[in-house]
């Protein structure tokens, strides 16, 4: 019998639509405006005392709130309106002081039974939900400085292996200066260094009895190092963003030495800044011998006690750049530690250094590049001046009991949160050069409210026009198409929620376009049915031929559009990807609803009946 589905196909369609309804439901429960409280340092705990302090300040200011909670050392206080949320943010920050970060946030209201099924609302992009926007600048001068330090270490090794005696190697204003004892050594060193380090321009200088060989990187080599620093920092920042678990982030280069980062849904700027801007690294050095010269040693304080100090060799065994994996855990005394795996080259260097220095002590030096901001007044204008500086502290100084290999552990950390953060930074990769925040913007949820309302209105208006047109032109079949269109929107919302896809303002434009494309397939089918009726076919045969013969046209049209959407997603960024996601998913759901759901409804209403005419 034509125009009849087997029972299993009806059940399959019902099951798909029912699942779509369940996973689309969380989108009907909007998030509550909230304020998040977080400590500046991981060692500080949010307690009920802090919440009481905040609620007293809110009560005194007559700001309505509800549902204060503490979860994962973060306090959440919910509000009934965005206006109350914005007023409360400033008030709470004043009440708690600078030791805490107070940030705008959105608290979920999805019922627990839906969350137990794995259902949750779709994520909103930066333009709808808000988030943080950072503009960061790479310190090019420090990038060259750090690279020159590596060159100095390599040159020392080279000159020693060639038995060319020198008094010292120093770095002055971007120039590496080597002081030799006589002209013969200087002449031989020039040849050796030119062979191994061709990127340096050499200049001889004589100052009294001192013979100097000045080495300066060529302009091209310097530009290459600077370009590498930006690219490496870009890669590292992307890895750190991935570790944060942010959906649809934007991390891209801007100009010669700047990087733009946008993190939708992230309102805790302190946590984001702490992870993204951290230039922490590790250096592994041997403790200096008692008779070592002052030019070959440096003294550093311990991190847990500034009064304790140790003298270390200047030569670095390895840095955090050699770390291939790092995981935080606890030692046998339940103290936090970081388990480290080195890459092949790092493992070789560590093994060689420790094998030849058993019973000597090795230090783990924690290196942080920081910046102080000072406001200076010039010609009546106040200008912020950034002063970069480096802090180095010893976090561990242990005796080498046996040769180490590719795996070992670091102890001496203050808290589990510190070990987790250090492991994350090492795992994501260290920055090739210090990076500083030039611009920082927190885009609150209230800023996206108007965009959401306008987007919903556009979907509603677009759907209303489509529904009215289909009812007026195709009557009963138009009603069937409208039911299928509603199912299409439900399935689209469910798919985006299940896939954790991010909805952006361009994505809403893709949904509006999907509305027209979804009924476009029905228009082709209904027009084909009309044509078959005009050619003398019976109503049942016209329905059968309309669906069968229009399928190829519908499939071809949607396939080409899907290919374009996939290409847009592959080569596009930001807003283009948001549009491509909703367009791609909309094509898939519209194919299902326009062909399967519409056909099932037509079969139920018209299949197996003696029809003389159709209401189409």
pLDDT average, residue stretch 5-10? 90
pLDDT at position 244, please?
A: 63
pLDDT average, residue stretch 368-388? 68
Q: Kindly report, residue by residue over 32-51, the tens digit of the pLDDT.
A: 888 888 776 555 678 888 88
Q: Could you give the dihedral angle defined by the CA atoms of residues 578, 106, 449 and 439, in that order, rounded to the nearest 10 degrees?
A: -70
Mean pLDDT of the chain: 82
Q: Kindly report, residue by residue over 306-329, the tens digit of the pLDDT.
A: 678 999 998 888 887 787 788 888
Q: Kindly report, residue by residue over 171-182, the tens digit of the pLDDT.
A: 887 889 888 878
Answer whether 313's CB lies under 8 Å from 292's CB.
yes
Stretch among 25-29, 127-131, 195-199, 322-326 having the lowest mean pLDDT: 127-131
What distance in Å separates the CA atoms of residue 561 and residue 577, rounded to the nearest whole number?
A: 15
Q: How many CA atoms lie within 13 A of 230 on its CB side?
A: 19
Q: Within a 10 A sphere around the Cβ of 378, how many other Cβ atoms?
A: 8
Instruction: List own/partner pairs for 41-50 with CB under 8 A and 24 or more apart.
Output: 41/99, 42/73, 42/415, 42/417, 42/418, 42/421, 43/414, 43/415, 43/417, 43/418, 44/99, 44/100, 45/73, 46/70, 46/73, 46/74, 46/75, 46/100, 50/75, 50/96, 50/100
pLDDT average, residue stretch 460-473? 88
Say if pTM beats, i.e. exceeds, 0.95: no
Domain formed by 7-26+444-606, architecture:
Up-down Bundle (1.20)
Query: In the CATH hierarchy, which fold is given to the domain comprising 131-279+431-440?
Result: Alpha-Beta Plaits (3.30.70)
pLDDT at position 379, please?
A: 67
**Is 612 exposed, middle or buried (CB count within 10 Å of its CB: 0-12, 13-18, 19+)?**
exposed
Domain limits, the chain? 7-26+444-606, 131-279+431-440
Q: Which of 191, 352, 217, 192 is nearest to 286 (CA)?
A: 352
pLDDT at position 444, please?
A: 59
pLDDT at position 539, please?
A: 86
Given the structure tokens 């403790």, which residue do they identify? Answer: 287
pLDDT at position 272, please?
A: 72
Answer whether 267's CB lies under 8 Å from 521's CB.
no
pLDDT average, residue stretch 205-227? 87
* pLDDT higher than threshold 80 for residue 608: no
pLDDT average, residue stretch 392-411? 82
pLDDT at position 15, please?
A: 94
What distance in Å separates the CA atoms of residue 273 and residue 372, rounded to the nearest whole number?
A: 15
* pLDDT higher than threshold 70 for residue 430: no
**CA 473 to chain CA mean position, Å:** 49
């Amino acid at each position: 019998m034509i125009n009849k589905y087997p029972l299993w196909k009806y059940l399959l369609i019902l099951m798909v639509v029912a699942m779509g309804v369940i996973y689309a439901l969380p989108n009907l429960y909007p998030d509550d405006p909230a304020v998040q409280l977080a400590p500046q340092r991981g060692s500080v705990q949010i307690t009920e005392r802090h919440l009481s302090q905040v609620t007293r300040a809110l009560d005194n200011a007559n700001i309505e709130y509800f549902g204060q909670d503490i979860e994962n050392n973060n306090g959440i206080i919910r509000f009934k309106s965005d206006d109350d949320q914005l007023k409360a943010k400033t008030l709470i920050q004043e009440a708690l002081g600078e030791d805490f970060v107070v940030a705008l946030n959105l608290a979920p209201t999805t019922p627990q039974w839906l969350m137990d099924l794995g259902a949750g609302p779709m994520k909103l992009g930066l333009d709808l939900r808000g988030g943080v926007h950072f503009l960061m600048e790479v310190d090019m001068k420090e990038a060259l400085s750090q690279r020159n330090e590596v060159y100095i270490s390599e040159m020392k090794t080279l000159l020693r292996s060639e038995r060319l005696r020198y008094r010292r190697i120093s770095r002055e204003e971007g120039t590496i200066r080597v002081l030799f004892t006589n002209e013969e050594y200087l002449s031989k060193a020039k040849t050796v260094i030119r062979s191994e380090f061709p990127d340096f321009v050499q200049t001889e200088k004589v100052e009294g009895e001192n013979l100097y060989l000045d080495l300066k990187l060529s302009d091209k080599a310097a530009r290459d190092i600077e370009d590498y620093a930006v690219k490496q920092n870009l890669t590292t920042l992307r890895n750190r963003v991935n570790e944060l678990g942010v959906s649809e982030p934007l991390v891209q280069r801007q100009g010669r030495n700047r990087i733009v980062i946008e993190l939708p849904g992230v309102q805790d700027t302190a946590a984001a800044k702490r992870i993204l801007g951290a230039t922490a690294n590790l250096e592994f050095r041997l403790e200096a011998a008692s008779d070592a010269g002052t030019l070959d040693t440096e003294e550093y304080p311990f991190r847990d006690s500034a009064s304790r100090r140790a003298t270390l060799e200047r030569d670095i065994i390895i840095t955090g750049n050699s770390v291939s994996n790092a995981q935080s855990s606890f030692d046998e005394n339940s103290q936090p530690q970081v388990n480290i795996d080195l890459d092949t080259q790092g493992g070789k260097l560590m093994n060689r250094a420790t094998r030849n220095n058993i019973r000597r002590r090795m230090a783990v030096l924690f290196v942080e590049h920081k910046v102080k901001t000072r406001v200076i007044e010039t010609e009546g204008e106040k200008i912020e001046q950034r002063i970069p500086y480096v802090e180095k502290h010893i976090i561990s100084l242990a005796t080498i009991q046996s040769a180490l290999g590719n795996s070992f552990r670091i102890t001496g950390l203050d808290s589990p949160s510190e070990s987790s953060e250090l492991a994350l930074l090492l795992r994501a990769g260290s920055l090739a050069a210090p990076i500083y925040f030039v611009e920082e913007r927190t885009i609150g949820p209230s800023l996206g409210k108007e965009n959401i309302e306008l987007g919903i209105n556009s979907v509603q208006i677009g759907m209303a026009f489509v529904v009215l047109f289909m009812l007026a032109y195709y009557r009963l079949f138009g009603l069937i198409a409208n039911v299928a269109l509603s199912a299409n929107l439900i399935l689209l919302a469910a798919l985006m929620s299940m896939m954790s896809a991010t909805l952006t303002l361009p994505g809403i434009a893709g949904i509006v376009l999907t509305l027209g494309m979804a009924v476009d397939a029905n228009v082709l089918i209904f027009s084909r049915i009309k044509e078959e009726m005009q050619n003398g076919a019976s109503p049942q045969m016209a329905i059968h031929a309309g669906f069968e013969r229009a399928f190829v046209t519908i499939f071809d049209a949607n396939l080409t559009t899907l290919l374009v959407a996939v290409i847009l997603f592959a080569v596009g960024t930001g807003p283009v990807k948001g549009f491509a996601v909703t367009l791609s998913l909309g094509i898939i759901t519209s194919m299902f609803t326009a062909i399967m759901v519409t056909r099932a409804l037509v079969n139920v209403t018209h299949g197996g009946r003696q029809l003389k005419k159709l209401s189409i």
